[in-house]
Amino acid sequence: MDVLFVTSECYPLVKTGGLADVTGALPLALAAIDVDARVLLPAYPGVREQLASSTTTARIDDLFGGSAALVEGTTAAGLKVLLIDAPHLYDRAGGPYNTADGQDWPDNHLRFAALSWVAAEIGSGRLGRWRPDVVHLHDWHAALAAAYLHFDESKPSRSSRPATLLTIHNLAFQGVFPETSLDALRLPTEALTKDGMAYWGSLSFLKAGVRWCDAVSTVSPTYAREIVTPEDGMGFDEALNERADPLIGIVNGIDLDVWNPETDPHIAVNYSVETTSLKARNKAALQGELGLDTDPRAPLFCVVSRLTQQKGVDLLLTALPRLLARGGQLAVLGTGDRKLEKALQRAVKKQTGFVAAVLGYDEALSHRMQAGADAIIVPSRFEPCGLTQLYGLRYGTLPVVAKVGGLADTVTDIDTVTDGEGATGFQFTPVDSDQLATAIDRACDIYETPTIWQRMMHHAMTRDVGWDTAALAYRALYEQLVQARR
Ligand code: ADP
Ligand code: GLC
């Protein structure tokens, strides 16, 4: 079984969030069960240099306004990668989606149409020597490949095309552009109907994927149930409900090699479920690093997050007085919304020694936060899966989470089980600052009873959070889609 992953980011080459973690780890888990999964992504600056080896295998004369090359290579971890080397689209200083000052690149529709177009060409066997059985599209950046394959006139028969799967990692990002961009995307006018990719007076890349992929999945069963409702469907519930097959929810795993407290090179002291007392040394180191009081008894809560409306960090700022009143400390690592960043800075200034905030993106510090904190707070208004609570489980850093999406599926609240058996954390619903404060209170109560807290750490650290189960589920799905094509 050969599968082409199509994505705009992939750990460790380029990452802004969990999408990269998934596309960097799932192909490796699939390789272990005999699925040859390769990852196609843009050659942003510095990406090719990170590959252990690479060669140019094909050339494209005109890729949306310039020439391009396909580069094949492998990362140090053994991930097989295909890069689109198209300097006119991707070789610029700034992020994958925006300029250094946070503005979307004005030609994003072309940048990600190009990614999608190359995916469709590889999928049809017209580019490079390798031809996948399945093209697995991740989020809107890749979703237009479904349109290119659907309207591909040279391959009219269904069985001569690869099977296609769209995974929605976050429905808030829909790839919406003016209808007038259709020509530039090199798609026929028939694409722009209500049954196609027309979307409330605009066009949407994601909608192309929802309409024309053989199957659509998302990253947890609860999120799959949420987004087919008008309340949480973000304008997509109708399109999702109109599909004949149900939306599939498969919970993400985490890379157990990258996120392993026993071997993690970024943390002060390595520890395991057998040596959890060593976690205290990571806590002291983190407190020292961030300028927090080095008090071993203060429950230390952390947050590692993009700072956006989705992530609910504003709710935490409102609940902060309760956390501090319980003698707690808060450490935040995040970047994003300027207003939230300023509010965090004000909180640090007011409560120096008890609140710390690092405003930026720092992979190594994110590991030290997981190793050093007692608990991780994820107060998201919605969360397709969420990975930081999974890292928390693996590091014995108990999650305090909103009961939504994947957070509902991956954390077991102590109040929902008998005698605390299997409890790994704390959940709250509805998602507001009062309920969050109550959950923090409950966590502080348990923290004062170390035997129970220790037991919860044990449950958390031994919970299966790897990729094996999900990889088997994806393989079964690929097999089903390929069968249906025959
Ligand atoms: P999302 O993809 O919505 O941002 P996830 O929880 O799925 O949420 O994944 C977020 C990923 O990004 C995690 O690997 C997390 O550790 C990482 N991350 C988020 N913000 C930062 C930051 N400021 N510094 C380092 N890592 C971060
Ligand atoms: C998205 C979601 C997050 C999920 C990640 C990986 O960015 O916001 O919940 O964990 O994708 O699937």
Residue 277 tokens, joined: 């007392």
pLDDT value at position 102? 87
pLDDT value at position 214? 97
CA of 306 from ligand 1 middle (Å) equals: 6
Q: Which DSSP state fits 251?
A: -
Q: Which DSSP state fits 163?
A: E
pLDDT value at position 160? 75
CA of 305 from ligand 1 middle (Å) equals: 5
* Cβ of 26 less than 6 Å from ligand 1: no
- In 3D, which of 234, 207, 238 has the Cα closest to residue 223? 234
Looking at all shown ligands, the one closest to residue 385's CA atom is 2
Q: Among the atoms of ligand 1, which is closest to the Cα of residue 16?
A: 12
pLDDT value at position 155? 65
CA of 13 from ligand 2 middle (Å) equals: 17
pLDDT value at position 156? 60
Q: Which of 10, 304, 359, 401 to mutate to test the pocket of ligand 1 (most atoms within 8 A of CB)?
A: 304
Residue 356 tokens, joined: 């710390």
How many whole angstroms separate alpha carbon 224 and alpha carbon 251? 10
pLDDT value at position 29? 98
CA of 46 from ligand 1 middle (Å) equals: 20
- Ligand 1: residue whose CA is nearest its atom 24: 361
pLDDT value at position 76? 95
Alpha carbon 35 to chain centroid, angstroms: 22
Give the type of residue at 329: Q
Q: Among the atoms of ligand 2, which is closest to the Cα of residue 387?
A: 10
Q: Among the atoms of ligand 1, which is closest to the Cα of residue 169?
A: 2
How many whole angstroms separate alpha carbon 397 and alpha carbon 331? 13
- Ligand 2: residue whose CA is nearest its atom 10: 386
Q: Tell me how far CA of residue 210 lies from CA of 49, 102, 315, 389, 447, in angstroms.
A: 35, 28, 33, 28, 45
pLDDT value at position 419? 87
pLDDT value at position 422? 96
CA of 17 from ligand 1 middle (Å) equals: 4
Q: Among the atoms of ligand 1, which is closest to the Cα of residue 363?
A: 25
Low-confidence ranges of the chain (pLDDT < 70): 155-156, 158-159
Q: Among the atoms of ligand 1, which is closest to the Cα of residue 387?
A: 6
Q: Among the atoms of ligand 1, which is closest to the Cα of residue 311?
A: 3
* Cβ of 387 less than 6 Å from ligand 1: yes
Pocket of ligand 2 (CB under 6 A): 17-19, 22, 169-170, 219, 252, 383-387, 406
pLDDT value at position 153? 80
pLDDT value at position 486? 81
